[in-house]
Amino acid sequence: MEATWTGHHSASTILMKPVIAVKKAKRVISSGKEKKQKECANDLNDSECQNEILRMAKQMVKERQDMTGLNCIKGASGKVIVDDKGIKDSWTEYMEKLMNEENEWYHKISAGIKEGPADCIRIAEVRAVLKKMKRHKAPGLSGLVAEMIQATGDTGTQWSLDLCNGIMKEGCIPEDWKSSVVLPIYKGKDDPMECGSYRGIKFLERAMIVVEKIFEHRIRQQVEIDDMQFCGFGESF
């Protein structure tokens, strides 16, 4: 049986109805915005409204500000500490505990043993990591940023290669890499005098991140990483 169109309107007319409705809604919204803007403009001439707008603007700015320059903090016992040394010691104690505390995980995980001499790191591995390093990242204590290493071209690549292989041979990292800057950033909620209300941002040496990423890539090629084994590595660097 042949199908026939029995409606009073054509298919094109029906399809146009949603489009017309959307355009009409946009016109109503635009008209409403324009009306409200005129009302706000008129309110600016009123001194009381001006004070209210200023108060709201100050509150918005205050809510978005980081907490800086606090001259007191609560220690682990809850006691308020005001002297500089006590504040530094409290932050050191809190950050050391936070960054060295082991998360709970299922320890009964078996894995095959990987043995054998370590191969020297190749220049292609260093180039691959340097190419992927993100720009405009904060440096460590040395002030060295990724852009500096990348700008030196082959010289910086060879320097990074020698550094990586030196660490592989000696089995230890440079002594100054063992220190870093940790900046507490207020989360925007809870008591600003509590250390737990801050997120610690650690500034690592960019050269150390090059070494870490090369080791991470090699580890992932040799072993299977469990979901609970983060190993301190992330995808972004």
Question: Which three-class secondary structure state does DSSP give residue 85?
Answer: helix
The residues spanned by each domain of the chain are 119-222
Torsion angles phi and psi, residue 111, rounded to 5: -150, 150
Helices 154-170 and 206-222, axial angle in degrees (round to 10):
60
Give the pLDDT of the chain (237 residues) as one tens digit per residue.
444 444 444 444 444 555 576 677 778 788 887 787 777 666 666 677 667 777 767 766 665 555 555 677 888 788 888 888 888 888 888 888 888 776 676 666 666 777 777 788 999 999 999 999 888 888 888 888 889 988 989 998 999 999 989 988 888 888 888 888 888 888 888 888 888 888 888 888 888 999 999 988 888 887 776 665 555 545 545
pTM across the whole model? 0.57
Contact status, residue 168 vs residue 120, Cβ threshold 8 Å: yes
Helices 154-170 and 123-132, axial angle in degrees (round to 10):
120
Taking CA atoms, 232 is separated from 92, 100, 121, 205, in Å, by 20, 11, 21, 15
